[in-house]
Amino acid sequence: MVMTEDSRREQLFETIDAMRRALVMTLIEMCSIPAVAPENGGEGELKKTEWLENQIRSFGFDDIDRYDAVDDFEDGVVRPNLVAVRYGLDEDAPTLWFISHTDVVPEGDLSLWDTDPWKPVIVDDKVVGRGVEDNGTPLVASLYAVRALSEAGIRTGCHIGCVLVADEEQGSKWGIQHLLEQDIFKEGDLIMVPDAGFPKGDFIEIGEKSILWLKFKTEGKQGHASMPHLCRNAAEVGAELAYRLNKVLKERYDAEDELFDPPYSTFELTMKVANVGNVNTIPGEDIFYMDCRVLAEYPTEEVLATVRGVMKQVGEKYQMPIHLSLSQHEQAAPTTDPESRVVTILGNAITQVIGVEPIVGGIGGGTCAAFFRRRGFNSAVWAKMDQSAHTANEYTYIDNIVDITKVFALMMLNS
């Protein structure tokens, strides 16, 4: 009997529905092994990754490899990265990769938790515990999607890879950055990073804006407000600088990209540091901040050169030193093609499983996807999640665990 696409899909979904309990138990057991970074007082991810490596031996992967890094914390801690691959039908086909991270953030203020963060429990229709949403649910879902394919006897078009990386929460140096130095990912591979999302599961992130946090300090001379000729008014110079920066940046970098909301770069005057304590004193120092979110097409260095140009003009006009410091400077990676294959098969799978038409766009960023995009890989970020990551009482809906597994399995099936 030849199976139709529909019947194969139904068979896969039935297999996954039957795994509901196993999915939850694996998530609970996995998240009861803390995997906090050494710099945050934890032991790292080794125990958790070794446990996972053992668990997935029967899941239908053809290759399971470890790529451990040794970090530079004290004597060096092993930071394990696990790469598990199930081969597709065609040897030359690309690989569809699912990149999730094993590390979790610390529990934070314990008094805010209703239950033990390191002993995940089922509460009503949720699992509660540290790491169950970020990144536990998508991680377990990717592994069980492969298990479901294997149990249903399905070989896919693409090879399927599940990558469990360390060190995501602290910059990824010993995780995905380490892996990208190995000969694992090939040109044309499809990259899926299920590490951000919205409760309805209707948003696919394909790009991010660059971030610049700028601090400006003008340095004048303090004195009595009735004697301005004996002072140098740092607030006056700060005000002119703020006014000009606000105007110049918004006018010069006005490109629009409909993928983003809002569709343009933002340059906002934000925090103002208190200066003098009374009305009749001219401040000798003035500090203000700007938060800038810039479309990837503008190099941040170019924006900074414009900022320095404005500072020079104002500084020369008033003969006053102006200092700039950057508390955040992150150049956005190139945006993933919204028509790329990974985005389209993901979008189709979301519609079939969840019944929504996903919006493809750009937001915050800060996932492993940026490292892939910088190397030219199309990478989609998606999950159906309630954004309880990093909070006390972090939770995940059991229905979401099942739905995400189905979305991944369908992506694999249609790859």
Residues that bind Zn ion (CB under 5 A): 134-135, 195
Tokens 């995501």 appear where?
168
Residue-level length of the chain: 415
Q: Minimum distance from CB of 390 to Zn ion (Å)? A: 8
Q: Are 219 and 289 in contact (CB under 8 A)?
A: no
Measure CA of the first residue to CA of the last residue in the chain; give whole Å: 22
Strand partners, 159: 95
| CA distance readout (Å), 22 to 54, 398, 401 | 15, 11, 11
Q: Minimum distance from CB of 144 to Zn ion (Å)? A: 19
Q: Minimum distance from CB of 101 to Zn ion (Å)? A: 6
Three-state SS for 122?
A: strand
Q: Minimum distance from CB of 168 to Zn ion (Å)? A: 6
- CB of 350 or CB of 381, closer to Zn ion: 381
Q: Minimum distance from CB of 317 to Zn ion (Å)? A: 47
Quote the radius of gyration of the chain (alpha carbons, Å). Answer: 25
| 44: alpha, beta or left? (left if phi > 0; alpha if psi -120 to 50) | left
Strand partners, 294: 210
- CB of 32 or CB of 102, closer to Zn ion: 102
Q: What whole-number distance in Å separates Cα of residue 63 and Cα of residue 161?
A: 9
Q: What whole-number distance in Å separates Cα of residue 216 and Cα of residue 219?
A: 10
Residues marked active site are found at 103, 168
Q: Where are the beta strands (DSSP E) in 62-182?
A: 63-66, 69-70, 78-79, 82-86, 95-101, 121-123, 126-128, 159-165
- CB of 134 or CB of 286, closer to Zn ion: 134
- CB of 135 or CB of 233, closer to Zn ion: 135
359-362/203-207 β-pairing? parallel
Q: Minimum distance from CB of 14 to Zn ion (Å)? A: 30
What are the counts of helices (DSSP H) followed by strands (DSSP E) for the chain?
10, 19
Q: Are 294 and 253 in contact (CB under 8 A)?
A: yes
| CA atoms in the 13 A half-sphere facing the CB of 32 | 13
- CB of 33 or CB of 234, closer to Zn ion: 33
- CB of 9 or CB of 130, closer to Zn ion: 130
Q: Minimum distance from CB of 175 to Zn ion (Å)? A: 11
- Sheet containing 126-128: give its strands across: 121-123, 126-128, 395-397
Give residues with Cβ within 8 angstroms of 239, minimum separation 6: none
Q: Are 290 and 214 in contact (CB under 8 A)?
A: yes
Q: Minimum distance from CB of 296 to Zn ion (Å)? A: 22
- CB of 100 or CB of 415, closer to Zn ion: 100
Q: Where are the beta strands (DSSP E) in 220-284?
A: 223-224, 266-272, 281-282
Amino acid identity for residue 310 in this structure: V
- CB of 208 or CB of 286, closer to Zn ion: 208
| CA atoms in the 13 A half-sphere facing the CB of 10 | 5
